[in-house]
Amino acid sequence: MSSLNPNSRNEREPYVVSSKGYTAVAINAAAKAGEFIKSRQGTVKELGTKSSAQDLVTEVDKGAEQMIRRLVLTHYPDHAILGEEGVVPGADAVTAALEEAKENEFLWIVDPVDGTTNFVHGFPFYAVSIALAVRGELTVGVIYDPVRDEMFVAEKGKGAYVHGVKTAVSSETSLGDSLIALGFPPDRQVAQPANLAALQNILPKVRGIRAGGSAALHLAYVAAGRVSAYYEVGLSPWDCAAGVLLVKESGGQVTDTQGNPYHIGTRHVVASNGHIHEDIVSSLKEAGATGF
Ligand code: 2AM
Ligand code: CA
């Protein structure tokens, strides 16, 4: 029996999304886009590139983003949407688009396929990421992995859940016991040297490193306690907005690579279970790998 007091709810009771509103729309859009993406794996005909030969885009990314835009705007025609495929590539253009978008009271931040390179190669590790910021504050975050049919949902102040089960970050307190995720975005000027220096410094200190190729899923995995921490230099808002809320609502910590609080414009991200956060940040500083 569920208690009338929401705070005394048994942790093992399934979570029921309380609001029929924003969260339900985000879940619905992520589920639809995710099913569409999965149905198209292995069928990509036209492979486009953006900032470089490593920066891929497909008709599936564009189609999925269009689906999500239509669905969100059907419910909330006056809300704004910042989507990966609506912004020209490059850090400056992303910053400019974000500055403009931030003016909106309700801003949806959408990555229709996070892990496009994986999707194109048939490596089954990609996801849809949808976040809603209200007056600049992350309020809803949904990440859907259509391959494993895992829907990660976070609502500000209400916790984070995967199919109704509360997620919680892991408990490791030392780097030696930790499994760390990282990533390599396509920018070879700034991001690649920083991420390589970080790898060299941190690999000898930890139990293992994983680089799966989807920032959103790595953040969801920090939230779910499947990895102890994740860091990456050179991300965009849509890669991490939803995942950041998932980590925070699962008891974890998220900062930039210098240890400053995360905000929607943060590009160099550290997310952890909290216990090893300082060790990661100091390692990045020691290695000259903060990206700043
Ligand atoms: P994507 O697949 O949506 O592009 C891989 O380490 C991570 O970097 C992925 O989450 C990937 O997201 C992201 N990424 C890829 N290209 C990027 C770019 N040009 N700028 C920022 N992040 C990028
Ligand atoms: Ca993408």
pLDDT tens-digit map of 211-244: 999 999 999 999 999 999 999 999 999 999 999 9
pLDDT reported for residue 96: 94
Does the C-beta of 214 come closer than 6 Å to ligand 1? yes
Token readout for 51 is 């900032």
Does the C-beta of 234 come closer than 6 Å to ligand 1? yes
Distance 47 CA to ligand 1 centre (A): 16
Dist CA 143 CA 4 (whole Å): 29
Distance 117 CA to ligand 2 centre (A): 9
What's at 230, amino acid-wise? Y
Distance 186 CA to ligand 1 centre (A): 7
The correct CATH number of 175-286 out of 3.40.190.80, 3.40.250.10, 1.10.1370.30, 3.40.50.620 is 3.40.190.80
CA 181 to each of CA 52, 85, 121, 210: distance values in angstroms, whole numbers, following the listed order: 24, 25, 20, 5
pLDDT reported for residue 30: 98
Which residue numbers in the chain have pLDDT < 50? Answer: 1-4, 6-7, 18-19
Does the C-beta of 183 come closer than 6 Å to ligand 1? yes
pLDDT reported for residue 10: 61
CA 112 to each of CA 41, 83, 135, 243, 255: distance values in angstroms, whole numbers, following the listed order: 14, 8, 23, 14, 24
pLDDT reported for residue 89: 87
Out of 61, 87, 239, give the residue to mutate to test ligand 1, the one with the largest number of ligand atoms within 8 Å of its CB.
239
Give the long-range contacts of residues 90-95, CB within 8 A, separation 24 or more. 90/51, 91/187, 91/234, 91/267, 94/236, 94/237, 95/265
Does the C-beta of 51 come closer than 6 Å to ligand 1? yes
Q: Which atom of ligand 1 is nearest to the CA of 119?
A: 2
Q: Which atom of ligand 1 is nearest to the CA of 211?
A: 6
Ligand lying closest to the C-alpha of residue 181: 1
Distance 115 CA to ligand 2 centre (A): 6
Does the C-beta of 143 come closer than 6 Å to ligand 1? no
Residue 227's contacts (CB-CB under 8 Å, 6 or more residues apart) are 170, 179, 180, 181, 210, 218, 221
Distance 217 CA to ligand 2 centre (A): 12
Does the C-beta of 215 come closer than 6 Å to ligand 1? yes
Which residues does the annotation place in the binding site for Mg(2+)?
A: 84, 111, 114, 239
Dist CA 48 CA 55 (whole Å): 8
pTM: 0.92
The DSSP-derived string for 100-169 is HHTTSSEEEEEEEEE-HHHHHHT-S--EEEEEEEETTEEEEEEEEETTTTEEEEEETTTEEEETTEEP--
Ligand 2 (ion): residues with CB under 5 Å are 84, 111, 113
Report CA dihedral (215, 221, 224, 228) to the nearest 10 degrees.
-110
CATH architecture of the domain 6-166 equals: 2-Layer Sandwich (3.30)
Does the C-beta of 257 come closer than 6 Å to ligand 1? no
Phi-psi region of 42 (alpha: psi -120 to 50; beta: other; left: phi over 0): left
Distance 6 CA to ligand 2 centre (A): 36
Q: Domain-by-domain residue ranges, the chain?
A: 6-166, 175-286
pLDDT reported for residue 47: 80
